[in-house]
């Protein structure tokens, strides 16, 4: 127990004995309802709620924090049974047979569920007789919400890094690897311009940087890129500081005057690729549309840079070892992800149990249906992750065969009716096959995780001068007006289609499923 909690118990132990004796005296002489216990100024200064109840479970004291939690004044609550406000008190009070009891979980105050850390204590007089109980409440709802937000952010980063490394692992050569990595980062973070520099192996104290890939019109214009990094002295900065170089508003930086004139807005962010204090390369990103780079994005891009540096550090002849290490990392992350979903089901189950014990819930069919659906969803995602652990060999097996394997291994084993209709002869370059497959994979993953679809139909057709891919589902759908192209999943699909000169179209409406079609020229 923390020092504040100990102080609370000590103060309550002293004041409650006197206070409750005073109350019993008034009760004995019939004036119980004619006076109120005076609120202690010391207890009113605590952030934690403090409630004192007598042996009849009637409220005899509330501090200011407890008044706010319950939503009623001490004067109104005085003499009232605690269960009038704390609807699951009966289940909690069963644990006060011991002198002290701690509980962490959901609690219902006046019909509203919130999360609390609760400490129940029994107070005794000098004869060892129980005379009152104290309830100390610490509201952890906001803390829990922050924790869940961090978990969602972590899951998003995990999904992105997995997609990034999948893209890298399918690259045929180093040039394609660097271009795919830059492309994936830029589109995911909605960055308009970027460049990827590598450090050449050298014993020199001043390492030489070479351009490995670039993206966006700003980086493509003649010698703009070389002038940009020489003006900012990016490489020397990285060598000396080994920290990101950030210019959030180029209009305010005299070094970028000539570049700022060409656009209404300019923001620059440069990140070193560091592995054990050794610089392996530099990522340079620029935005020519407000806002600039937020602190959250900078943190995430730092994580991406670190992960990319770690990947680059590994030698090619250790590719098998890399795959094993990445697989183990994915398995650990998978375990954490599934654990969170199972924890959510446990929490819901506990809430149902408390509701049944207190009579707050009479019919559990809706809650049990939620638990069942969450369990099925966790199983679907487990099967998806297990499938993605196995490498996909498009060049050897072909696009049609890989799609069939995916549908059979994931959707087919997840209770979803999935069919593939395709022509016998599908002729596409390896690059276009790879892009189509990842568009399909992104669409199927979204269907599996978000739509509660019961059936999926995939069509792959050979047209006169193009290949046509269509994915239909009967899931929950969405309102396209409320979905921006910048969303992570949709953005990736549009980006892949743009990369191979294709046209992607998404049609959907709420409760009427979604249709995604891609036309790719041959």
- 188-246 residue pLDDT tens: 888 888 999 988 754 456 778 888 888 888 887 767 777 777 788 888 888 888 889 98
Confidence band for 35, pLDDT divided at 50, 70 and 90: very low
Which parts of 211-364 fold into alpha helices (H)? 217-220, 224-232, 234-241, 257-260, 295-313, 319-358
What domains can you pick out in the chain, each with its CATH number? 3-139 (3.30.450.20), 172-311 (3.30.450.40), 314-391 (no CATH), 394-522 (3.30.565.10)
Q: From CA 48, how far away is CA 150, in angstroms rounded? A: 25
- Please tell me the predicted confidence (pLDDT) of residue 355: 77
- Nearest CA-CA partner of 207 in 265, 135, 273: 273
Distance, CA of 395 to CA of 294 (rounded, Å):
40
Which of 146-155, 226-235, 413-422, 449-458 has the weakest average pLDDT?
A: 146-155
In the structure, what pLDDT confidence band is assigned to residue 457 with cuts at 50, 70 and 90?
A: very high
Give the pLDDT band of residue 94 (cuts 50, 70, 90).
low
Higher pLDDT, 206 or 349: 349
Q: Which of the given ranges, 206-210, 267-271, 330-334, 488-492, has the highest pLDDT on average?
A: 267-271
Question: Quick check: 3 pLDDT over 50?
Answer: no
Residues 6+ apart with CB under 8 A from 343: none
pLDDT in tens, 245-270: 988 888 788 888 777 666 678 888 99
CA distance 24 to 18: 10
Q: What is the pLDDT of residues 109-148, one digit of tens each?
A: 766 777 788 888 888 877 878 888 888 888 877 777 666 6
| Mean pLDDT (the chain, rounded) | 77
Q: Which of 177, 186, 243 is nearest to 212 (CA)?
A: 177
Nearest to 213 by CA among 235, 194, 240, 241: 194
Decide if pLDDT at 333 tops 70. no
The mean per-residue pLDDT over the stretch 326-334 comes to 63
The answer to whether 188 and 491 are in contact (CB under 8 A) is: yes
| pLDDT for the residue numbered 30 | 39
Comparing CA positions, the residue from 28, 63, 26, 33 lying closest to residue 48 is 63
pLDDT of res. 42:
63
Question: Is the model more confident about 307 or about 382?
Answer: 307
Q: Is the pLDDT of residue 5 over 70?
A: no
Residue 148: its pLDDT value, please? 65
Q: Residues 502-517: what's their mean pLDDT?
A: 91
Residue predicted with more confidence, 479 or 486? 479
The residue with greater pLDDT, 132 or 371, is: 132
Cβ neighbours for 365, distance < 8 A, ≥ 6 positions apart: none
Please tell me the predicted confidence (pLDDT) of residue 275: 86
Task: State the pLDDT at residue 233.
Answer: 85
Band of pLDDT at residue 150, cut at 50, 70 and 90: low
Query: Which has more pLDDT, 379 or 324?
Result: 379
Can you give the pLDDT at residue 219? 83
pLDDT given for residue 317 in this prediction: 44
Please state the rounded mean pLDDT for residues 506-516: 91
In the block, residue with structure tokens 């006076």 = 35
- Considering the chain, what percentage of its residues have pLDDT values greater than 70? 75
- Band of pLDDT at residue 502, cut at 50, 70 and 90: very high
């Amino acid at each position: 127990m923390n020092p504040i909690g100990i102080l609370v118990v000590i103060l309550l132990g002293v004041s409650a004995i006197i206070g409750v004796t005073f109350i019993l005296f008034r009760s004995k002489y019939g004036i119980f309802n004619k006076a109120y216990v005076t609120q202690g100024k010391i207890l009113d200064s605590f952030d934690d709620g403090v409630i004192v109840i007598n042996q009849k479970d009637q409220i005899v004291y509330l501090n200011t924090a407890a008044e706010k939690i319950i939503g009623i004044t001490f004067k109104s609550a005085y003499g009232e049974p605690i269960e009038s406000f704390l609807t699951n008190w009966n289940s909690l009070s069963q644990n006060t047979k011991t002198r002290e009891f701690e509980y962490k979980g959901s609690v219902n105050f006046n019909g509203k569920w919130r999360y609390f850390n609760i400490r129940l204590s029994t107070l005794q007089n000098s004869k060892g007789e129980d005379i009152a109980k104290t309830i100390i409440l610490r509201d952890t709802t906001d803390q829990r919400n922050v924790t869940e937000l961090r978990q969602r952010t972590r899951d998003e980063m995990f999904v992105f890094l997995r997609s990034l490394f999948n893209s890298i692992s399918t690259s045929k050569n180093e040039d394609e690897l660097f271009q795919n990595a830059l492309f994936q980062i830029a589109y995911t973070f909605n960055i308009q311009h970027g460049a990827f520099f590598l450090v050449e192996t050298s014993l020199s104290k001043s390492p030489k940087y070479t351009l490995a890939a670039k993206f966006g019109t700003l980086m493509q214009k003649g010698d703009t890129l070389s002038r940009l990094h020489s003006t900012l002295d990016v490489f020397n900065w990285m060598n000396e500081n080994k920290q990101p170089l950030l210019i959030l508003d180029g209009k305010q930086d005299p070094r970028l005057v000539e570049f700022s004139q060409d656009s209404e807005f300019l923001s620059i962010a440069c990140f070193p690729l560091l592995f054990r204090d050794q610089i392996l390369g530099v990522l340079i990103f620029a935005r020519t549309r407000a806002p600039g780079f937020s602190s959250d994005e900078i943190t995430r891009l730092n994580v991406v840079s670190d992960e990319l540096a770690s990947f680059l550090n590994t030698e090619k002849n250790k590719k098998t070892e890399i795959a094993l290490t990445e697989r183990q990392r994915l398995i650990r992350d998978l375990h954490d992800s599934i654990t969170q979903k199972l924890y959510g089901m446990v929490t819901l189950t506990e809430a149902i149990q408390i509701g049944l014990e207190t009579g707050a819930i009479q019919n559990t069919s809706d809650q049990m249906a939620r638990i069942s659906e969450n369990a099925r969803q966790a199983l679907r995602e487990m099967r998806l992750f297990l499938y993605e652990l196995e490498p996909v060999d498009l060049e050897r097996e072909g696009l049609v065969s890989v799609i069939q394997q995916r549908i059979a291994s994931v959707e087919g084993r997840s209770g979803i009716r999935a069919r593939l209709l395709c022509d016998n002869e599908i002729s596409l370059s390896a690059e276009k096959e790879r892009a189509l497959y990842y568009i399909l994979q992104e669409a199927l993953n979204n269907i599996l995780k978000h739509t509660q679809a019961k059936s999926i139909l995939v069509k792959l057709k050979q047209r006169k001068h193009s290949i046509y891919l269509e994915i239909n589902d009967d899931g929950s759908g969405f309102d396209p007006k409320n979905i921006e192209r910048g969303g992570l999943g949709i953005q990736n699909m549009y980006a892949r289609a743009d990369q191979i000169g294709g046209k992607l179209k998404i049609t959907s409406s709420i409760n009427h499923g979604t249709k995604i079609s891609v036309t790719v020229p041959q």
